[in-house]
Amino acid sequence: MTKAKTNKKTLSEFRERNRKSGGYLMKRKIMDVGISICRALLLFGMCFLILQPILNKISVSFMTEEDLFNPIVISIPEHFTTQNYIIAADLMTYKEALINSSWISITIAILQIAVCTLVGYGFARFKFPLKNFWFACVILVILVPPQTISSSLHLHFRFFDVFGIIEALRGESLNLRGSVLPYYMLSAGCMGLKNGLYIYMIRQFFRNIPEDMEEAAYVDGCGTLKTFVRIMLPQAKPIITSCFLFAFVWQWTDGFYSKMFLGTRPLVSTALARIVDSIGPYIQRITGVLTTVSVAYSNCILATGTLMIILPLIILYLFAQRTFVESISSTGIKM
């Protein structure tokens, strides 16, 4: 009752104001509503555009092979099945790959971000000779495609040696290919996947923090390292979180470095890349009959596998989405 009354009151008030402004208020109101409707339509369309492949994959992953060839079935499967998931999990050795991938992604991401934070802080806060030169090197690292150096990195780790010490001790150089060690070494040296970018982002973040706090800490007798750990790190939490997420996600899906250094280990990314080739022999092994797998069905398995791989990432993203989005967009990556 009272609500209707107030509504009526505000309406009449609105009319009054509109009359006073010579119709301007009304015009503006209509324009605002129109714009927000247009915006909603546009955004809905674009969100659909991004989500559609995922929805599509979900619907396909529950279909039987029969449904795939049925022209009437488009998005809702007629014969609902979870068989695709079982096959895909078997093909990718899902459990093992998942554990392996999580372990490697987490350790690599922690190592990379720890080192990159140190380096980024060093670039942001200290004045030292040749600083610009070294920073230009960081930019160079961002720019050099890893493919350019991959062939010689290959050989570098195939015949690994530190100033000939190992050769003197063992009589021959070390073959580090097929082990995980080279990749950890690369990460410790900031040369992993997109590490130049992390350094750059962290540096920009530290540069935006006012120096007063640090100076106060120095005056109170706090050492450089202690200041960094106690004062600066807590403030840099948002950028570290988002860089960590970047590192984790990119490592998770990375095919290039994984193929190069971790080729023998079952990882989700490399397993997914192989899934189409391995489905034929797999079915042959089970049924004992030489069969050719239809393209549609192998793609269906591929879609299922992709879903299974991005599922952990999406769960992670849902939890960390707020920090992820807000921290980057509010801290500002300025030039």
Partner 1 sequence: MKKQKNKLAGLQKRKAISGYLFISPFIIGFLVFMVKPLLNSLYMSFCSVELGSGIFTSTYIGLENFHKAFLVDPEFNRLLVEEFTRMLLYSLGIMVFSFFVALVLNQKFKGRAMVRAIFFLPVILSSGVILGLETDNQLMATLAQTIEMTTQNVSITDTLEEVLRTMGVGVRAFEEVFVLIDNIYDVAIASGIQIIIFLSGLQTIPASMYEAASIEGCTKWESLWKITFPMISSLFLVNWIYTVIDFCMRSDNAVIEKIQLVMIGQMNYGFASAMSWIYFIIVLAFVGLTSFFISKGVYYYD
| Residues within window 291-330 making contact with partner 1, judged by CB under 8 A | 295-296, 299-300, 302-303, 306, 309-310, 313-314, 317, 321-322, 324-325, 328-330
Tell the smallest beta-carbon distance from residue 168 to partner 1 (Å): 17
Which residues does 204 contact at the CB level (< 8 Å), separation at least 6? 124, 332, 333, 334
List the structure tokens of 201. Answer: 């982002």
Tell the smallest beta-carbon distance from residue 177 to partner 1 (Å): 12
Closer CB to partner 1, residue 13 or residue 140?
140
Cα torsion angle, 167, 170, 175, 179, sign = negative
- Footprint of partner 1 on residues 153-172 (CB under 8 A)? 153-156, 158-159, 172
Tell the smallest beta-carbon distance from residue 163 to partner 1 (Å): 11
How many residues form the binding site for partner 1 (CB under 8 A)? 99
d(CA 116, CA 110): 10
**Phi, psi at 174, each rounded to 5°:** -85, 140
Binding test (CB under 8 A) with partner 1, winner from 10, 82, 224, 291: 224
- Footprint of partner 1 on residues 75-114 (CB under 8 A)? none
Tell the smallest beta-carbon distance from residue 142 to partner 1 (Å): 7
Which residues does 270 contact at the CB level (< 8 Å), separation at least 6? 255, 258, 259, 262, 263
Query: Interface mask (CB under 8 A) for partner 1, residues 120-159, using x and -?
Result: -xxx-xxxxx-x--x--xx-xxxxxxxxxxxxxxxxx-xx
- Footprint of partner 1 on residues 9-68 (CB under 8 A)? 36, 39-40, 42-43, 46-47, 49-51, 53-54, 56-57, 60, 68
The yes or no reply on residue 252 touching partner 1 (CB under 8 A) is yes
Tell the smallest beta-carbon distance from residue 240 to partner 1 (Å): 15
Tell the smallest beta-carbon distance from residue 290 to partner 1 (Å): 23
C-alpha dist (Å) from residue 279 to 84, 181, 271, 307? 11, 31, 12, 17
Tell the smallest beta-carbon distance from residue 291 to partner 1 (Å): 18
Binding test (CB under 8 A) with partner 1, winner from 270, 279, 283, 308: 270
Binding test (CB under 8 A) with partner 1, winner from 118, 180, 231, 293: 118
Closer CB to partner 1, residue 125 or residue 284?
125
CA dihedral 83, 86, 89, 90 (to 10 degrees): -110
Binding test (CB under 8 A) with partner 1, winner from 11, 188, 213, 229: 188
Give ∠ CA 80-99-108 in degrees, rounded to 5. Answer: 130
Which residues does 177 contact at the CB level (< 8 Å), separation at least 6? 154, 157, 158, 261
Closer CB to partner 1, residue 8 or residue 255?
255
d(CA 298, CA 282): 12
C-alpha dist (Å) from residue 305 to 60, 250, 323, 331? 11, 18, 28, 36
CB distance 194 to 113 below 8 Å: no
Binding test (CB under 8 A) with partner 1, winner from 174, 176, 180, 191: 191
Which residue in this structure is represented by tokens 């546009």?
A: 42
Closer CB to partner 1, residue 47 or residue 86?
47
Tell the smallest beta-carbon distance from residue 252 to partner 1 (Å): 8
**115, HSE (Cβ side, Cα atoms, 13 Å):** 18
C-alpha dist (Å) from residue 294 to 93, 279, 326? 22, 10, 45
